[in-house]
Amino acid sequence: MKTIVEPKQMQDLARKWRSEKKTVGFVPTMGALHKGHLELVRASRKENDATVVSIYVNPLQFGPREDYQQYPRTLEADLELLEKEKVRALFAPTNREMYPAGFSSRVEVSGSLVQGLCAPYRPGHFNGVATVVVKLLGAVQPTRLYLGQKDAQQAAVLKQVVRDLDLDVEPVICPIVREHDGLAMSSRNKRLTLAGRKVAPVLYKALKVGKSIVDLGQADAEKVLGEIKNVMAEERSVKLQYLEAVDAGTLAPVKEIKPGTMIAVAAYLDNVRLIDNIVI
Among candidate residues 34, 37, 125, 180, the one labeled active-site is 37
Angle at CA of residue 78, ends 60 and 20, nearest 5°: 85
Q: What is the per-residue pLDDT for 90?
A: 98
Domains of the chain with CATH codes = 2-174 (3.40.50.620), 187-275 (3.30.1300.10)
> Does 37 participate in catalysis according to the annotation?
yes
**Residue 205's pLDDT is what?**
98
How many whole angstroms separate alpha carbon 36 and alpha carbon 57? 17
Task: List the strands of the sheet with 2-4, edge to edge.
Answer: 2-4, 89-91, 50-55, 24-29, 144-148, 170-174
Q: What pLDDT, on a 0 to 100 scale, did the predictor assign at position 103?
A: 97
d(CA 252, CA 204): 22
pLDDT of residue 38: 98
pLDDT value for 109: 95
Contacts of 55 (CB under 8 A, 6+ apart): 29, 30, 31, 33, 75, 78, 90, 91, 92
The DSSP symbol for 85 reads T
Question: pLDDT digit string (tens) for 85-100?
Answer: 999 999 999 999 999 9
- Intervals of the chain under pLDDT 70: none
In the DSSP assignment, the letter for residue 116 is S
What pLDDT score was predicted for residue 155?
98
129-184: per-residue pLDDT in tens? Answer: 999 999 999 999 999 999 999 999 999 999 999 999 999 999 999 999 999 999 99
Determine contact, residues 200/229, Cβ cutoff 8 Å.
no
- Predicted model pTM: 0.96
What pLDDT, on a 0 to 100 scale, did the predictor assign at position 279? 98
Q: What percent of the chain has pLDDT over 70?
A: 100
DSSP letters spanning 223-277: HHHHHHHHHHTT-TT-EEEEEEEEETTT--B-SB--TTEEEEEEEEETTEEEEEE
